[in-house]
Amino acid sequence: MSSALPFRTPIDLHTHSSVSDGTETPTELMRSAAAAGLGTVAITDHDSTSGWADASADVALTGVTFVPGMELSTRHGWRSVHLLAYLFDPTDAALTGEMARIRDARLTRAENIVNRIAVDYALTWDDVLAQTTDGATVGRPHIADALVARGYVPDRSAAFESILHPRNGYFEPHYAPGPLEAVRLVRGAGGVPVIAHPATRGRDGVVPTDYLAKLVDAGLFGLEVDHRENTPDGKERLLELAAQFGLRVTGSSDYHGAGKPNRLGENTTAPEVLEAIIAEGRGSAPVYA
């Protein structure tokens, strides 16, 4: 189906740059998107919009449409829930206040994790800072990269499966708002909220139906169904829930450069869904070539 809007296909609405835990700068990411044959890409760094300006500046050169986005950290009880947000106002005081609070909490928490690891391994906080860019949203992937640099593990995935795994006792969570509060904040800033990879824990791990109903009432737009970490039975359940609640369905790569095996464009979003996102987004606009 062709669109009346000037964006191009294929469309990948979930990627990370070095502003958070991706390994490419926003500029490099735009060029990778062009090289991968994408027509439209959203940069959705964790809890930050610092990549938007450089990505926007590259649209004329690459011809790839840029959709401003973010992946906001939230928590429901013990479980981490990631909320994708598109086309919100990056200066909205309530939302930026919460983003700053999360990024600060992530720093303290990462230092605590490193201090515990340092009892058993030669690892310093400076090792971790050396793996981040200035002002980046710091996370376990940067600790993983520091462990790779020290030669303890071959790559990020191995670090997550060994030293960084919660069962080893170094892990701790960080502050994050509840999903319901996060959906309200995103909508309050004119944005369009979509739950990221909601079925990584399978059919029975999907957010409970009564709680999902509350998120829908608060303005949830959609569910990211086509994502490599959603299980097959979990995707089936998500499609049932989307039909039941009138939610839209997205697909995306969750590209992290060299930090994860996910490749740009390995999953994509239908043009009519992006049209609906643009119709509802009031805080910022896509940058067209």
Measured at CB, which residue is nearest to ligand AMP? 139
Residues 50-109 that bind Fe ion (CB under 5 A): 82
Binding mask 2-21 toward ligand AMP (x if CB under 6 A, else -) reads -------------------x
Residue 103 touches ligand AMP, criterion: CB under 6 A: no
Measured at CB, which residue is nearest to Zn ion? 254
Instruction: Answer yes or no: are the C-beta atoms of 137 and 21 closer than 8 Å.
Output: yes
Residue 156 touches Fe ion, criterion: CB under 5 A: no
Check residue 273 and report its DSSP letter. H
Cβ contacts of 208 within 8 Å, gap of 6 or more: none
Residue 141 touches ligand AMP, criterion: CB under 6 A: yes
Nearest of 113, 110, 88 to residue 99 by alpha carbon: 88
Region for residue 178 given its phi and psi (left: phi exceeds 0; alpha: psi -120 to 50; beta: otherwise): beta
Q: Which is nearer to Zn ion, 195 or 206 (CB)?
A: 195
* CB 157, min distance to ligand AMP, A: 4
Among the residue ranges 55-63, 123-131, 176-184, 254-262, the one whose residues contact ligand AMP (CB under 6 A): 254-262
Cβ contacts of 156 within 8 Å, gap of 6 or more: 141, 144, 145, 148, 259, 260
* CB 52, min distance to ligand AMP, A: 19
Residues 41-100 that bind Zn ion (CB under 5 A): 71
Sole binder of ligand AMP in the list 121, 125, 152, 160 (CB under 6 A): 160
Looking only at the bridges linking them, the beta strands covering 222-226 and 248-251 are: parallel
- Angle formed at CA 18 by CA 182 and CA 30, multiple of 5 degrees: 95
Residue 253 to residue 69: CA distance in whole angstroms: 14
Q: Which is nearer to Fe ion, 9 or 74 (CB)?
A: 74
Residues 208-267 that bind Zn ion (CB under 5 A): 254
Sole binder of ligand AMP in the list 103, 156, 187, 235 (CB under 6 A): 156
Residues 21-40 that bind ligand AMP (CB under 6 A): 21
Between the CA of residue 65 and those of 57, 154, 213, 277, what are the distances in Å? Answer: 11, 35, 33, 14
Interacting residue ranges for Zn ion, rule: CB under 5 A: 71, 254
